[in-house]
């Protein structure tokens, strides 16, 4: 009887451990083995994982409404979840995670010494649900293991989260690294060239049940539109935004961003009627977005659309509404200053433009939005690049 009781208690404990780990363990599972020589020198398997985590964190830190595929590896598991590994329950945990709908991504890497020292080689295999495994081979000629793992992390993340990788490269371009614009375009183009069955997807709770992959692909089209306008190609930008429309299972928040960009581009190409249609659609789809300041972005753009449509009074009202909701919105103050100048209120215009300059350093910038990267003249449609400060 005592043996049966102990067995039942042990079984219950194992069930609790596996269940707890399934809910709280990391949905991005990374294992990187390293040669004993490197481990003896301090670059252990745990160190390799931490380097990978740091690279994930760098890319995840770029501001975007679209969430990064969950990679909470550095947050640490719960006490029970931490027991899963020494008890060799990892596979059971992963299996249960997939059964309950958690989109578990596995990254397995092997660092190897090469025949020609000091070069190091690495094989990386990425496994995602509904996707065939992908294998990458890479080398580091100078034998720097951290650089090799960072390089591998970048390659893996381009497969797992191509939109966030491309957006990170784009923001580096805005910061003055012009070559990063080409990197962003290349990342987006490569990702979009991969065929995938959009009907096979894991509903993502963070996206109200939409598909994260479909959402990323739609936003990659959106980013290609932003990059096209950076080159002055409004026709290409419009085409990229239109190509995002048929993608199924896209999060409504991403749809909102795309519709706002269609509205902005319509103002730039002097199509105010289309701009009104798009801004209304963008506002309607924005219900899923809880990001502070996003409603102010919509009001600011709606003001620009109203101004382009010949209603400066409505533009004035919307800009003041935007400022009341988000006092540090640089665009609202700038456009209001320009509107007041057009009305002949030089003193009011000067005050608003001065406030806009001060607000620049506190403004919450979403580089997914065209209006965060360009100024548009509502009357002429002329575009000017905004400062990247």
In this prediction, residue 137 carries a pLDDT of: 93
> DSSP characters for 348-367?
HHHHHHHHHHHHGGG----T
> Which residue is associated with the tokens 């043996």?
3
42-87 per-position pLDDT tens digit: 999 989 988 988 888 888 778 888 876 654 444 344 333 433 344 3
Q: Which CATH class is domain 181-385?
A: mainly alpha
- Residue 8 pLDDT exceeds 90: no
In this prediction, residue 16 carries a pLDDT of: 37
In this prediction, residue 38 carries a pLDDT of: 92
Q: 27 falls in which pLDDT band (50, 70, 90)?
A: low
> If you average pLDDT over every residue of the chain, what do you get?
84
Q: 103 falls in which pLDDT band (50, 70, 90)?
A: low
241-286 per-position pLDDT tens digit: 999 999 999 999 999 999 999 999 999 999 999 999 999 999 999 9
The residue among 296, 304, 349, 298 whose CA lies nearest residue 322 is 296
- Residue 292 pLDDT exceeds 70: yes
Q: In the chain, where does the domain assigned CATH 1.25.40.10 lie? A: 181-385
Tell me if 94 sits within 8 A of 17, measured CB to CB.
Answer: no
Structure tokens at 205: 């709770």
- Residue 98 pLDDT exceeds 90: no
Q: In the chain, where does the domain assigned CATH 3.40.50 lie? A: 2-160
185-219 per-position pLDDT tens digit: 999 999 999 877 777 777 777 788 898 889 999 99
> Which residue is associated with the tokens 């990702």?
191
Q: 166 falls in which pLDDT band (50, 70, 90)?
A: very high
Q: What is the CATH number of domain 2-160?
A: 3.40.50
The DSSP bridge pattern shows strands 105-113 and 120-127 to be antiparallel
- Residue 7 pLDDT exceeds 50: no
104-149 per-position pLDDT tens digit: 778 889 999 988 889 999 999 988 776 788 898 999 999 999 999 9
Tell me if 226 sits within 8 A of 237, measured CB to CB.
Answer: yes
The residue among 13, 214, 204, 23 whose CA lies nearest residue 100 is 23
């Amino acid at each position: 009887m005592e043996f049966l009781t102990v067995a039942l208690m042990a079984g219950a404990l194992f069930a609790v451990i596996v269940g707890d780990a399934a809910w709280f363990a990391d949905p991005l599972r990374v294992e990187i083995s390293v040669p004993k020589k490197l481990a003896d020198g301090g670059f252990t398997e745990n160190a390799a994982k931490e380097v990978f985590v740091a690279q994930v964190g760098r890319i995840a830190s770029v501001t975007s409404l679209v969430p990064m595929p969950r990679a909470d590896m550095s947050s640490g598991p719960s006490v029970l979840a931490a027991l899963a590994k020494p008890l060799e329950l990892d596979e059971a945990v992963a299996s249960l995670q997939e059964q309950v709908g958690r989109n578990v991504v596995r990254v397995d890497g092997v660092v190897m010494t090469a025949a020609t020292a000091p070069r190091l080689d690495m094989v990386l295999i990425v496994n995602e649900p509904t996707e065939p495994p992908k294998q990458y081979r890479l080398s580091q000629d100078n034998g720097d293991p951290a650089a090799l793992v960072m390089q591998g992390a970048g390659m893996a993340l381009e497969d797992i989260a191509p939109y966030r990788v491309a957006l990170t490269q784009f923001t580096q371009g805005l910061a003055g690294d012009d070559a990063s614009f080409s990197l962003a375009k290349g990342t987006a183009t490569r990702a979009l060239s991969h065929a995938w069955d959009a009907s096979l997807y894991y509903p993502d709770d963070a996206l109200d049940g939409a598909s994260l992959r479909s959402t990323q692909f739609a936003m990659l089209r959106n980013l290609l539109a932003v990059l096209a306008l950076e080159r002055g190609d409004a026709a290409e930008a419009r085409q990229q935004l239109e190509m995002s429309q048929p993608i199924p299972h896209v999060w409504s928040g991403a749809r909102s961003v795309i519709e706002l960009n269609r509205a902005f581009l319509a103002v730039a190409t002097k199509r105010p009627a289309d701009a009104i249609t798009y801004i209304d659609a963008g506002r309607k789809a924005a219900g899923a977005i809880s990001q502070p300041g996003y409603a102010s972005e919509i009001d600011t753009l709606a003001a620009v659309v109203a101004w382009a449509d010949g209603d400066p009074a409505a533009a004035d009202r919307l800009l003041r509404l935007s400022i009341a909701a988000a006092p540090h919105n640089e665009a609202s103050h700038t456009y209001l200053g320009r509107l007041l100048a057009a009305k002949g209120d030089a003193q009011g215009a000067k005050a608003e433009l001065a406030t806009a300059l001060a607000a620049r350093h506190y403004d919450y910038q979403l580089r997914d939005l065209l209006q965060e990267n360009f100024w548009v003249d509502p009357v002429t449609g002329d575009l000017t690049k905004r400062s990247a400060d």
